[in-house]
Structure 1
Amino acid sequence: MRLLRSTDLALRVLMRLAVAGENTPTTREVAAAMAVPYTHAAKVVAELQHLGLLEARRGRGGGLALTEKGRTASVGGVVRTFEGDGDVVDCEGSTPCPLNSGCRLRGALRRAQEAFYASLDPLTVSDIVADPTGPLLLGIPGSAGPDSPQGSPRSP
């Protein structure tokens, strides 16, 4: 199974903010550190904010901060939210599969997908940034670690 880019980015944003401490990076800084387009990062940040997993504050001293809900969020829940309810394969698309009425593969793939999510459900964002991951995240150039420059007035 392959995750959508937005799902991958959402998880990385949550992880980055989980180790940010008192620093509150902006969306632009997060996008630059992760080498993704600002517009893509902004869409993901907006969705994470809508879900209550992070706060975005504008102006001087503003930036992104993980909420308590974000810290304890289930990784499986985040992945489900960003991936949506779709099946692994599209059996009824513009060219429906001729095996659709008697296929056993679709059900097997659906069960595998659910098993994948279920294996992520017990993990929280805090769990996935525990040692040794957290210190590694802080060492990434442009990360929101304690040694990052604070810059001038910012907006999320």
Structure 2
Amino acid sequence: MRLTVFTDLSLRIVMRLAVAEEEALTTRSVAAMMAVPYTHAAKAVARLSEMGLVEARRGRGGGLRLTRAGFSATVGSIVRELEGAGDVVGCEDDPPCPLREACRLRGELRRAQEAFFAALDEVTVESLVASPTGKILVALQPPEQTP
């Protein structure tokens, strides 16, 4: 199973925020650190905020913070929420698959997808940022702007 770019970016943002401590990070600075367009990062931050994993405050003294729920969240729960529980294959697409009424593949793919999520349920955000990853995440900085 391949994750969408959106899910990958969202996980990387959560990981970076997990090691931020008192560092004031903005969506713009996180986008620069991750080398992605601001608009992509803003959509990911908005979704993570809706999920209760990230707190985003505007204005002076604002910035992004990972919530307690964000620290303790499992990667499986985050990926499930972002990717959705949809089918791995498009059996009901237009035109629908002619095998859909008697196909065993669809069920096996669902079972494999759930096994993928279950493996990720054993991994927390906090465990992802343990050494040596945390040190590398802290070292990420936006590229210097040339005058």
Partner of 1:108 in structure 2? 108
Amino acid paired to 1:96 = P
3-state SS, counterpart of residue 6 of structure 2: helix
Equivalent pairs, count: 143
State the distance in 1 between where 2:80 and 2:120 align. 10
| AA of the residue aligned to 1:41 | A
Which whole-Å CA distance do the structure 2 matches of 1:29 and 1:102 have between them?
Answer: 51
Query: What's the CA shift for 1:4?
Result: 1.0
| Letter of the 2:123 counterpart | L
CA distance in 1, matches of 2:77, 2:84: 10
Q: Describe the SS at the equivalent of 1:65.
A: strand
Say yes or no: does 1:69 pair with 2:69. Answer: yes
Q: Which has the higher contact order (CA 8 A, sep 6+)?
A: 1
Q: Distance in 2 between matches of 1:121 and 1:77?
A: 7
Where do 1:64-143 residues align within 5 Å? 64-142=64-142
CA distance in 2, matches of 1:3, 1:86: 13
Unmatched tracts of structure 1, length 5 or more: 144-156
Distance 2:88 2:9 in 1: 20
Counterpart of 2:98 in 1: which secondary structure? Answer: coil
For structure 1, which segment, 55-64 or 103-112, has the greater mean C-alpha deviation from structure 2 after superposition? 55-64
Q: Letter of the aligned partner of 1:130 in structure 2?
A: A
TM-score (ref. length: structure 1): 0.87
How far did 1:140 drift? 2.6
Q: Deviations over 1:105-140 (max 9, x none)?
A: 111110000000000112111011111110111223
1:52-102 CA-to-partner distances (Å, cap 9, x unmatched) read 111111122221011111100111000000001211001110111111112
Q: Distance in 1 between matches of 2:115 and 2:80?
A: 12
Q: Paired residue for 1:57?
A: 57
Q: Secondary structure at the match of 1:93?
A: coil
Could you tell me which residue of structure 1 aligns to residue 41 of structure 2?
A: 41
- The structure whose residues are more often helix, as a share, is 2
Give the root-mean-square deviation of aligned CA atoms.
1.3
For structure 2, list consecutive stretches of 5 or more residues without a partner in the other structure: none
The CA deviation at 1:7 is: 0.7
Q: Tell me the secondary structure at the aligned position of residue 56 of structure 2.
A: strand
Tell me the percent identity: 63
